[in-house]
Amino acid sequence: MGIFWLIAVVGALIDQLSKHLIILYFSTSNASQVDSSVYSTDIEPIQIFANSSLDRSILSTQDGVDLIPGILRIKLVYNSGVSFSWLEGFWWLFIIVASIILVSIALIVAKVNLNLFEFLSSSIFTAGLLGNFADRLFRPDHTVVDFIQYFDWFIGNVADIFLVGSLLALIVYYLIKPKQLDKFTHLIPSQPQNQ
């Protein structure tokens, strides 16, 4: 169980480091990349990032930096919702849901004999959950720092890659090997038979 949490915490730290470096990049070397329509031009971007009274869900870089033009771009956005900014402002709900999921994962890892693939996928999923959980819990405005834009469709972060990648890997795995799901049946309470 210790290795599981070690992998999860290291993954979450990688996510947090990537967010810190992106904020640092856009707040210092490319200050002109920050959308000036959101704030007065006499305020430095680093002051905006430190100011918790601003609504960061609307603060973003105008154009970002193209890595693969039209496909992949670095663009800083503070997301107060979930994917596609759904449920903006309900940060406390995300804390509750993430806490329930974390406790559930801990119980499953403790009670189920997971194979190596399930173990690694679950720990990577937990890393992603912890990364975004840390943003919601510790950032003054409870937003998640997103910066990886795919096409013009979605902006995410390293934690999102961990979450989506590991979840898709587990879904494909259980579609290919459905018998592996049998090990979880003892976790589901049985219903009494009606006579």
pLDDT digit string (tens) for 29-70? Answer: 544 444 433 322 333 333 333 433 333 333 444 568 888 988
- Cβ-count burial of 88 within 10 angstroms (0-12 exposed, 13-18 middle, 19+ buried)? middle
Nearest residue to 49 (alpha-carbon basis) of 13, 24, 21: 24
Name residue 23's amino acid: I
Residues 6+ apart with CB under 8 A from 114: 108, 122
Nearest residue to 75 (alpha-carbon basis) of 85, 84, 66, 86: 66
pLDDT digit string (tens) for 109-144? Answer: 999 989 999 999 999 999 999 999 999 999 988 889
Looking at the predicted structure, is the pLDDT value of residue 147 above 70?
yes
Determine the 3-state secondary structure of 82 from DSSP. Answer: coil
Looking at the predicted structure, is the pLDDT value of residue 89 above 70?
yes
pTM of this structure: 0.76
Q: In what order do the strands lie in the sheet with 144-150?
A: 65-68, 72-79, 144-150, 154-156
